[in-house]
Amino acid sequence: MNIVRLGPNFICGEDRRIDFRIHERLAGPASTRIWVVGQFEGTHGATDFSLCEKLCSLASIRMGFLNHLFYPWGYLLQGLAIVHFIRRRPDTYWIYIILFLGPIGAVVYLCAEALPDAGLLRGAFKVFPRRKRIGQLEAAIRDNPSAGNYEELGDLYMDDGRLALARAAFDNAVRARGDSLDAFYRRGVCALLLGDAAEALPDLERVVGKEANYDFYRAGGLLAHAYAQTGRKDRAETLFRQVTARSVASETYLNFADLLASEGRTAEAREWARKVLDKKPTMPGYLRRRERPWFRSASKLLKRLPA
């Protein structure tokens, strides 16, 4: 049989009998229809609208059957995929896969993007052991207020997001033993994250003065950021350039870009923000997932600065 066209109508090109059977199973919570067999005849140039209707609906019938297999869990899978997409912001095309492919698209997304992100949630799974250890250290410090106990307690408070308590714990660690660079460094980081850049300066200067490459040059980058926050912009720029010559940390690049933007040097600020995004194509997948917050910050900065 010579078929001329398959469009709005199904047209036969020769005057002969068409014997067409459609085997389909209509599925869904409210559907009780079973196998359907259709026989149709056509003549030269004639159209069969029943056959056309069957053909056009076949894809949606099959998708309905797949949705029935996932019902009602398909909606839950799509919801989880959308929530993860909003929070993690992977490539934009994933939202179309989730929405238009339904549960199948959600499963593909969760396997490709959400499962690899599970490694980033290790800290969240450790919240209860961490808080248990915090309680043990708080009790132990009453009997043994050693610098080591205070430093460990400060680290746990930082991991738990309680920066003020962490800063106080590092204060006690420094008083108990004043030769621990890590206690000074972490106390300075806490002060900077709490918005107290002036108090962070002495600690960070002490650390960078003794070890310029401390914490893979992050200490130097944070010291430059503290200089910028306290109005010492010339010194901040000099230190930023020294650190960025040896480090490719996105945090340092963006802090330097913020400094340049505050001075009205838009072109240079955009250049440093663009350097953060330029690292993305060559990064392994696990690093790209870790760097997503910095990628978003760089994109926001580029949108805010005029080209």
Q: Give residue 86's pLDDT.
A: 86
Confidence of residue 305 (pLDDT cuts 50, 70, 90): very high
Average pLDDT over residues 17-40: 40
pTM > 0.75: yes or no = no
Confidence of residue 13 (pLDDT cuts 50, 70, 90): very low
Residues 117, 118, 124, 130, Cα dihedral to 10°: -130
Q: Give how far Cα 159 sits from Cα of 45, 136, 178, Å.
A: 75, 16, 23
Residues with Cβ < 8 Å from 78, sequence gap 6 or more?
Answer: 98, 99, 102, 103, 105, 106
Q: How many other C-beta atoms can be found within 10 angstroms of the C-beta atom of residue 269?
A: 23
Backbone angles phi, psi at 120, to 5 degrees: -80, -10
Confidence of residue 123 (pLDDT cuts 50, 70, 90): low
116 or 198: which carries more pLDDT confidence? 198
In angstroms, the CA 90 to CA 99 distance is: 15
Strands of the chain, DSSP E: 3-6, 10-12
Q: Give residue 38's pLDDT.
A: 40
DSSP type of residue 118: G
Confidence of residue 89 (pLDDT cuts 50, 70, 90): confident
Average pLDDT over residues 192-204: 97
Which of helix, strand or coil describes residue 10? strand
Q: Give how far Cα 19 sits from Cα of 16, 25, 38, 42, Å.
A: 10, 20, 8, 9
Confidence of residue 67 (pLDDT cuts 50, 70, 90): low
